[in-house]
Structure 1
Amino acid sequence: MEYSIHKPKTTKPNSIVDFGFFLAGLIDSDGHFSKIPQLVVCFHEKQIHVPYYLKKKLGYGIVSKVKNKKAVNFIMAHSLGLEKVCALVHNKLQHKDKIIQYNTRLRSLKSFNFTEKQDLFSIKENSWFTGFFMGDGSFQIEIIQRTDRKKAEVCVLIQIDQKTKCLLLQIKNAFGGCVYYRKSTDTFYYSSTSFAVAKNIIQYFDRFHLMGVKMTQYTLWRKVFLKIQNKKESQDELDYKWISMVKKRMNCIL
């Protein structure tokens, strides 16, 4: 599947199954099921429209500002709302800790069914990765001036941070890229500056759309990628001033 040079029209998950995968991705990234039980999903304050979207879609839940942090929580405590969540993400969660939380902390719900990780799960064929990236992913542009080259090198970078590497390895296997260990924080991160990987990512996100500021970041990142590709084909000079402006705008968004 190729990608279009035109920006795709933004849409939200358009079926119950798509929404379930999207929600599972959100939970696997920055969510958890507490002992109360509650579902809690954390968002950057600039993504506040997403928890309100969840509240509207599920019909239950509250959105709460996190004290002294640039973050908001979506909190679902109502039993009928949790039953909805149970049904939506059943057999769609990928993080082993979230699966354990689901199976041990939601058992009191009337419609509870044990969930498990699906061995044949295909990241590229559903909106799970969109939800996951909304929580822990970032798009970046890097302009590197090397001493052995006259012209600066422009990199389109994608990065995802996690405490463990299991899901990052799944993402690597699906799209390409590399997984690294960060000793200073005892965490792992997925990263790629490969144009081949960028093509795979664009093909995916043009089909399963991000939301809000993450979609804005993606659109700008995508523009830079396309500009570089076009210049490679035409042998024209890159507009480094324009790329620097786009990079600055992306950094200000989130």
Structure 2
Amino acid sequence: KIICLIILLYAGKSFISKIYNIKDSIKYIYINNVIVLILSKLNYCINNNIIIYRKGLSAGNFINKGTSETIRNNIDLIIEILLYNKVVKTIKDISVHIPKHNRINNDNDLGYYLAGLMDSNSEIINNNMIIHFNNDDYSYMYLIKKQIGYGSIIKGNNCKLIIKSNGIPKVLNLINNKINNKILFTQIINYIKLNNLNIDFILNNNLNILNNYWLSGYLDVNSKFDINLNLINNNLYNIDFNLYIKAPLNDKNNIDNNILNLINSNLKGYIYKDENNNAIYNINSLNIVYKYIMYLRSYHLMSNKYLTYIYWRKTYIRVQNIIWYVTNGIPKIDYYNHETEISKIENNAIKLNKLNNKT
């Protein structure tokens, strides 16, 4: 199969050794600090780690014969690529069709989603369970409240779902063996002891977070999907896919956080500390972007953040569809970047509300 996008994995060494007779139809971009060569409207083929273009010669008819010097004399373009691991990598394709947005419809999925939501930002105070959420997400929190069957929602600068003592046992049964937040776990254990509840509550013991709704719930509160597009010159772009996930640090001198470590063990990125003493996880490869897209295909986001994610996903498709991307994709990606910044607007909240109310 002929491919039109080559991704070279950087390994600390110079890995493009020679470039011959570069033409205007060739573009270079950086995607998350990985060099991508885009060849548009060229006849070319790949032989080992050499991309060869010859005017009037189709890739399927290419025959490798003679020395490399002979080949150089007979073709218009050779880009010789030396890779550290001697392997050419390609971007993984995803479907251009957006999966149908489905609501959670069983207690097991609801429990994992609630556990992720509560691991993000919740607490037990004065015998009340309080789940904090973003101001623009109150409409979908009504759906969560309806599915739980208990609680009241307070809107304002500090939006929250408050579940009183009559509803807490049901929530605890839903999230049992599903939460990962150790501080929340301690609060729950203290609540169970104080109220003499007959619940054997345990922490999550499943280290695989990619086969349930826990991560979706966590992302709905404590994440930011981001696209950065910078034009370096006429032939060079820098495109960054970012997914920031935040968790507070108990010790400002220790960046260790068990939740971000759990996410990082499943979806390898990097963790750092910001100026507000939060631990921040971010991604650093297209392969991880692909894995998130595959995960969120099955376990949908439920908040307004879903719409931001859709623009993030569409950007990946533009990178994937290279020939179209070279001619029209950059303006589109710039538009998607703008949309991720303005996603928290009333119209988008209305759109998401319609999606969530579909049967």
Could you say whether these structures have the same fold, taking a TM-score greater than 0.5 normalized by the shorter chain as the test?
yes
Aligned equivalents of 2:187 and 2:221: distance in 1? Answer: 19
More helix by share: 1
Please give the secondary structure, in 1, of the residue aligned with 2:300: coil
Please give the secondary structure, in 2, of the residue aligned with 1:55: helix
Aligned equivalents of 1:109 and 1:88: distance in 2? Answer: 18
- 1:44-123, aligned counterparts within 5 Å? 44-66=134-156, 69=157, 71-77=158-164, 79-109=165-195, 111-123=197-209
Contact persistence 1:83–1:112 (CA under 8 A): no
**Following TM superposition, by how much is the alpha carbon of 1:43 offset from its aligned partner in structure 2, in angstroms?**
1.2
**Following TM superposition, by how much is the alpha carbon of 1:111 offset from its aligned partner in structure 2, in angstroms?**
4.7
Match of 2:121 in 1: 30
**Counterpart residue type for residue 83 of structure 1:** P
Match of 1:42 in 2: 132
CA-based RMSD: 2.1
TM-score (norm 1): 0.89
Match of 1:20 in 2: 111
**Counterpart residue type for residue 159 of structure 2:** V
Match of 2:265 in 1: 173
Tell me: CA distance 1:170–1:238, structure 2 relative to 1, closer, same or farther (3 Å). farther
Structure 2 gaps of 5+ residues are 1-91, 250-256, 345-359
**Following TM superposition, by how much is the alpha carbon of 1:146 offset from its aligned partner in structure 2, in angstroms?**
3.8
Tell me: CA distance 1:135–1:153, structure 2 relative to 1, closer, same or farther (3 Å). same
Contact persistence 1:25–1:131 (CA under 8 A): yes
Match of 2:228 in 1: 142
Tell me: CA distance 1:102–1:201, structure 2 relative to 1, closer, same or farther (3 Å). same
Sequence identity, in percent? 23
Aligned equivalents of 1:32 and 1:136: distance in 2? Answer: 15
Aligned pair 1:192/2:292, yes or no? no
Aligned equivalents of 1:38 and 1:106: distance in 2? Answer: 12
Aligned pair 1:128/2:204, yes or no? no
Aligned equivalents of 2:306 and 2:206: distance in 1? Answer: 28
Tell me: CA distance 1:244–1:112, structure 2 relative to 1, closer, same or farther (3 Å). farther
Match of 1:157 in 2: 242
**Counterpart residue type for residue 196 of structure 1:** N
Tell me: CA distance 1:235–1:185, structure 2 relative to 1, closer, same or farther (3 Å). closer
Aligned equivalents of 1:23 and 1:181: distance in 2? Answer: 26
**Following TM superposition, by how much is the alpha carbon of 1:116 offset from its aligned partner in structure 2, in angstroms?**
2.1
Contact persistence 1:103–1:114 (CA under 8 A): no
> Relative to structure 2, which stretch is displaced further, 49-58 or 132-141?
49-58
Aligned pair 1:210/2:301, yes or no? yes
**Counterpart residue type for residue 222 of structure 1:** R
**Following TM superposition, by how much is the alpha carbon of 1:3 offset from its aligned partner in structure 2, in angstroms?**
4.3
**Counterpart residue type for residue 227 of structure 1:** R
Contact persistence 1:158–1:193 (CA under 8 A): no
Per-residue CA distance 1:130-154 (angstroms, 9 max, x = gap): 001111011001013447x832211
**Counterpart residue type for residue 125 of structure 1:** N
**Following TM superposition, by how much is the alpha carbon of 1:238 offset from its aligned partner in structure 2, in angstroms?**
5.2
**Following TM superposition, by how much is the alpha carbon of 1:75 offset from its aligned partner in structure 2, in angstroms?**
0.7
TM-score (norm 2): 0.64
Per-residue CA distance 1:162-187 (angstroms, 9 max, x = gap): 113221111111011111122x2122
Structure 1 gaps of 5+ residues are none
**Following TM superposition, by how much is the alpha carbon of 1:121 offset from its aligned partner in structure 2, in angstroms?**
3.1
Match of 2:351 in 1: none
Contact persistence 1:157–1:193 (CA under 8 A): yes
Match of 1:227 in 2: 318
**Following TM superposition, by how much is the alpha carbon of 1:118 offset from its aligned partner in structure 2, in angstroms?**
3.2
Aligned equivalents of 2:242 and 2:327: distance in 1? Answer: 21
**Following TM superposition, by how much is the alpha carbon of 1:245 offset from its aligned partner in structure 2, in angstroms?**
1.5
Contact persistence 2:96–2:317 (CA under 8 A): yes
Aligned equivalents of 1:2 and 1:92: distance in 2? Answer: 32
Per-residue CA distance 1:99-132 (angstroms, 9 max, x = gap): 1011102335565413222333310011000001
> Relative to structure 2, which stretch is displaced further, 22-31 or 161-170?
161-170
